[in-house]
């Protein structure tokens, strides 16, 4: 096994066989990203209070992860690995441990932490964390918010308009009886301690019939939190004598979730599949009721959380086949139990991601990636000219008319999951007639027999990308670079068509009327529109709706409006709505315009400044030490292809933006890419933020199995 770097700091691993290659990947991860990996493992095991700090917030994070119990079921996951995958995982762990034996990050000496060896259990843990945190988790948050709306007395007609077609099985009187417990920990809080905050992404694939090279082009730009260093992704080149793979990995686990081999390229976005359900349990004396007349004891799991310089905390979780109960069944009442379908997954997913080394065709790749147990939208292209799309994930089969959004009575067996959908029933398409396919977290139910999506982000990004692809039949990688940086908003276009006739003839009104719907840093129109949009949302959903206080809380302390804005937009853009409380849309818009009339316009970029802070010190060190970088201006907004969301949540500023941009033209063996950061999490490494300047300015590097400018020492 041989490891070197190209002149951009990217690890190149050469080996005699796959275990040898992936041992090198483990070593590279362990040398460049040990801080990131070990911090995430501490969190995933629920050991933050024991090993890092004993604050109440950390205790909440530990409780969250202990409740998920992702360190359980490891034996059965190991049995699901193929012999080849098992050998690769073992070799990967050997490589990580070799790197750790040569030294652990000095930051851990500050807290007295000495890590135990990396194991295959840790690989499974990471697989679960990456598939759930702030992704499937946000779906559960939205479903819990719905229950809170019911209990707050929001009228059913308003609920039906806000969540059209997905409220099958709704029993308002029963939901009002449910005893909701406090949310254990918000999604955003997790990244404060190292776990990645993820949500949106774009990917698209174009047939060679529409490219200058005559071969397919694939593009991917995962939208994650970018204001933390290091970046979530780790680029790497893997080679044996006869084959190679290039792409982006997740430190802590082997494989390339996005990337290419000599024959095939693939990219991923999150799919918003509803794989998280809640059931209402009728509880008493530590038992739950099942029809016709059974009271069944919960399984009891006790967890002890050690805390630095504090007494240990014992936590008791009550479980049944519907998941973990949110409450104490010894106190009579109705509580929710919640399950995430892939909670015991890992082995199958890892095997299939590793199998992508061998896959040569789009059709084969669709079948392999479709078996990944967590929910993703994969686009694929092969050198023969084929393109395709495949959704993955364990989609529960539910009874007729049930979407999974509304909690149902747990005592009725008809409400139980009835297995999982076959991958060929999930949304998928092979060689689409238009010559391209785009996913950007929009509703893709139309492409499958099963309908896995019930709440999603809006279609604006995918529509804009589709428009740009449709108008060009000689696309190049340079064209894709420009599309990655595109900040035109189809969402704003829709609202401005309705808003423009109502804008007053004032200086600020002229600015808004002339706005080109682009979220560039110097745009005052973008700034004014966003102020109007927020005022409109508060007027529609705050006044005589959810309440102004609740609406402001959702805006300032949750991701509800950032993740699921389509539901709210449909209401605000409607000609009439029960949420308008008898008023005309024009009158509601005018009220929102009046609220921004006294504002002095600013440029969009003034509110789009962020610092990229070090994962361990979280901005606590003086800036001159260089652990933190910036400020950086983030272009775009929630609905532009270059997404640029910056918002306050859980007491800190966070972001959604393209953390990594990848473009692959299958006419070459290269990957064109740029990363918001660099290969290393070591502050004093020259590779700590070596790609950041290029990321800010939309400049791409070329990753090749045989770089023309040679290597430097690893």
For 9-54, the pLDDT digits (tens) are: 999 999 999 999 999 999 999 999 999 999 999 999 999 999 999 9
pLDDT of 192 strictly over 70: no
Range name among 131-135, 382-386, 449-453, 700-704 with the lowest pLDDT average: 131-135
pLDDT band at 199 (very low <50, low <70, confident <90, very high): low
Task: Check residue 191 and give its pLDDT.
Answer: 43
Alpha helix stretches (DSSP H) within 273-326:
none
CATH number, span 490-606: 1.10.1400.10
Task: Check residue 382 and give its pLDDT.
Answer: 98
Task: Check residue 185 and give its pLDDT.
Answer: 45
Whole-model pTM: value is 0.95
Task: Check residue 651 and give its pLDDT.
Answer: 61
| Distant-in-sequence, close-in-space partners of 626: CB < 8 Å, separation ≥ 6 | 683
Tens of pLDDT along 206-249?
A: 999 999 999 999 999 998 888 889 999 999 999 999 999 999 99
Task: Check residue 182 and give its pLDDT.
Answer: 63
**145's torsion region: left (phi>0), alpha (psi -120 to 50) or beta?**
alpha
Distance CA 347, CA 76 (A): 8
Which residue is listed with tokens 């290091």?
230
pLDDT band at 187 (very low <50, low <70, confident <90, very high): very low
pLDDT of 422 strictly over 90: yes
How many residues are given for the chain?
714
pLDDT band at 273 (very low <50, low <70, confident <90, very high): very high
Number of neighbours of residue 696 by Cβ within 10 angstroms: 15
Alpha-carbon separation of residue 521 from 439, 464, 597, 631 (angstroms):
26, 20, 22, 13
Question: Degrees (nearest 5) of the Cα angle 552, 553, 555?
Answer: 65
What tokens were used for 74? 């490891």
What is the mean predicted confidence (pLDDT) over 142-166? 93
pLDDT of 72 strictly over 80: no
Quote the percentage of the chain above a pLDDT of 90.
82
Task: Check residue 184 and give its pLDDT.
Answer: 46
- What crossing angle do the helices spanning 490-499 and 460-470 adopt, rounded to 10°? 100
CA 111 centroid distance within chain? 30
Quote the percentage of the chain above a pLDDT of 70.
96
Domain boundaries, the chain: 490-606
Choose between 646 and 308: higher pLDDT: 308
pLDDT of 196 strictly over 70: no
What tokens were used for 254? 């082997």
pLDDT of 519 strictly over 80: yes
DSSP letter, residue 405: -
pLDDT of 344 strictly over 80: no
Identify the H or E element spanning 649: strand 645-649
**Nearest CA to 714 among 672, 685, 676, 684?**
685
pLDDT of 528 strictly over 50: yes
What tokens were used for 251? 């430190």
Task: Check residue 496 and give its pLDDT.
Answer: 98
Tens of pLDDT along 381-410?
A: 999 999 999 999 999 999 999 999 999 999
Tens of pLDDT along 588-605?
A: 999 999 999 999 999 999
**13's torsion region: left (phi>0), alpha (psi -120 to 50) or beta?**
beta
Alpha-carbon separation of residue 302 from 183, 299, 316, 335, 340 (angstroms):
20, 10, 5, 19, 20
Tens of pLDDT along 128-153?
A: 888 777 566 777 788 888 999 999 99
What is the mean predicted confidence (pLDDT) over 251-257? 96
Please report, for the chain, how many H helices and E strands are present, in that order: 23, 29
Number of neighbours of residue 363 by Cβ within 10 angstroms: 16
pLDDT band at 545 (very low <50, low <70, confident <90, very high): confident
pLDDT of 650 strictly over 70: no
Q: How many CA atoms lie within 13 A of 674 on its CB side?
A: 17
How close are the terminal C-alpha atoms of the chain, in Å? 13
536, 568 contact by CB (below 8 A): no
Distance CA 663, CA 203 (A): 10
What pairs with residue 315 in β-bridges? 303
82, 351 contact by CB (below 8 A): yes
| Distant-in-sequence, close-in-space partners of 109: CB < 8 Å, separation ≥ 6 | none
What pairs with residue 456 in β-bridges? none
Task: Check residue 555 and give its pLDDT.
Answer: 81
| Distant-in-sequence, close-in-space partners of 137: CB < 8 Å, separation ≥ 6 | 187, 276
379, 203 contact by CB (below 8 A): yes
Long-range contacts of 509-517 (CB under 8 A, 24+ apart): 511/601, 516/488, 517/488, 517/489, 517/492, 517/493
What tokens were used for 457? 């982000």
Distance CA 645, CA 637 (A): 5
Alpha helix stretches (DSSP H) within 500-541:
507-513, 524-541
**Nearest CA to 19 among 238, 216, 221?**
238
Distance CA 571, CA 567 (A): 7
Task: Check residue 547 and give its pLDDT.
Answer: 87
pLDDT of 638 strictly over 50: yes
């Amino acid at each position: 096994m041989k490891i070197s770097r190209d002149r951009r700091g990217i690890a190149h691993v050469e080996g005699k066989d796959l275990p040898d290659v992936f041992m090198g990947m483990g070593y590279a991860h362990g040398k460049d990203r040990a801080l990131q990996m070990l911090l995430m493992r501490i969190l995933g095991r629920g050991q933050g209070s024991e090993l890092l700090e004993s604050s109440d917030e950390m205790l909440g994070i530990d409780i969250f992860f202990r409740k998920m119990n992702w360190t359980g079921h490891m034996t059965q996951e190991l049995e699901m690995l193929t012999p080849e995958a098992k050998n690769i995982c073992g070799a990967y762990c050997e490589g990580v441990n070799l790197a750790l034996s040569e030294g652990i990050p000095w930051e851990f000496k500050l807290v007295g932490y000495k890590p135990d060896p990396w194991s295959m259990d840790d690989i499974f843990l990471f697989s679960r964390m990456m598939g759930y945190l702030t992704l499937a988790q946000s779906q559960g948050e939205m479903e819990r918010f719905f229950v809170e709306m019911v209990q707050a007395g929001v009228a059913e007609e308003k609920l039906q308009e806000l969540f059209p077609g997905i409220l099958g099985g709704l029993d308002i009187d029963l939901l009002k009886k449910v005893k909701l417990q406090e949310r254990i920990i918000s999604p955003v809080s997790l990244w404060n301690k190292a776990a990645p905050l993820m949500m949106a992404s774009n990917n698209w694939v174009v047939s060679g019939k529409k490219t200058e090279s005559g071969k397919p082009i694939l593009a991917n730009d995962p939208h994650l939190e970018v204001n933390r260093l290091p970046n979530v992704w780790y680029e790497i080149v893997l080679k044996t004598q006869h084959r190679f793979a290039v792409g982006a990995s997740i430190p802590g686990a082997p494989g390339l979730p996005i990337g290419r081999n000599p024959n095939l390229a693939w990219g991923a976005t999150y799919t918003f599949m509803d794989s998280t359900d809640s059931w209402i349990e009728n509880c008493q004396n530590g038992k739950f009721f099942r029809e016709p007349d059974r009271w069944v004891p919960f399984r009891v799991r006790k967890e002890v959380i050690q805390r630095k310089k504090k007494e240990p905390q014992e936590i008791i979780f009550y479980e049944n086949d519907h998941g973990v109960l949110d409450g104490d069944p010894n106190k009579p009442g109705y509580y929710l139990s919640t399950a995430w379908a892939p909670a015991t997954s890992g082995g199958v997913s890892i095997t299939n991601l590793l199998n992508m080394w061998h896959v040569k065709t789009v059709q084969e790749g669709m079948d392999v990636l479709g078996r990944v147990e967590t929910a993703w939208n994969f686009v694929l292209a092969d050198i023969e000219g084929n393109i395709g799309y495949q959704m993955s994930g364990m989609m529960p089969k539910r009874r007729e008319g049930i979407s999974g959004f509304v909690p149902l009575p747990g005592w009725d067996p008809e409400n139980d999951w009835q297995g999982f959908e076959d991958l060929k029933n999930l949304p998928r398409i092979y060689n689409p007639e238009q010559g391209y396919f785009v996913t950007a977290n929009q509703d893709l139910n139309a492409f499958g027999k099963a309908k896995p999506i019930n709440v999603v982000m809006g279609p604006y990004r995918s529509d804009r990308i589709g428009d740009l692809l449709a108008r060009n039949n000689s696309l190049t990688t340079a064209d894709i670079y420009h599309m990655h940086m595109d900040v035109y908003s189809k969402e704003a276009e829709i609202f401005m068509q309705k808003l423009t006739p109502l804008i007053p003839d004032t200086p600020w009104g002229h600015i808004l009327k002339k706005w080109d719907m682009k979220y560039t840093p110097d745009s005052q129109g973008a700034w004014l529109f966003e102020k109007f949009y927020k005022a409109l949302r508060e007027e529609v959903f705050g006044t005589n709706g959810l309440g102004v206080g609740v609406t402001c809380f959702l805006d300032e302390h949750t991701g509800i409006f950032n993740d699921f804005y389509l539901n709210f937009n449909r209401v605000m853009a409607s000609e009439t709505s029960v949420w308008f409380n008898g008023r005309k849309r024009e009158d509601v818009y005018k009220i929102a315009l009046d609220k921004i009339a006294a504002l002095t316009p600013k440029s969009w970029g003034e509110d789009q400044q962020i610092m990229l802070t070090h994962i361990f010190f979280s901005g606590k060190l003086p800036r001159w030490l260089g652990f933190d970088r910036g400020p950086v201006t983030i272009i775009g907004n929630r609905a532009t292809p270059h997404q640029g969301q910056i918002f306050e949540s859980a007491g800190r500023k966070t972001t959604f933006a393209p953390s990594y941009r990848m473009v692959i033209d299958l006419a070459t063996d290269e990957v064109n890419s740029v990363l918001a950061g660099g290969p290393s999490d070591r502050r004093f490494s020259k590779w700590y933020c070596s790609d950041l300047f290029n990321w800010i300015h939309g400049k791409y590097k070329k990753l090749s199995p045989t770089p023309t400018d040679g290597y430097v020492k690893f």
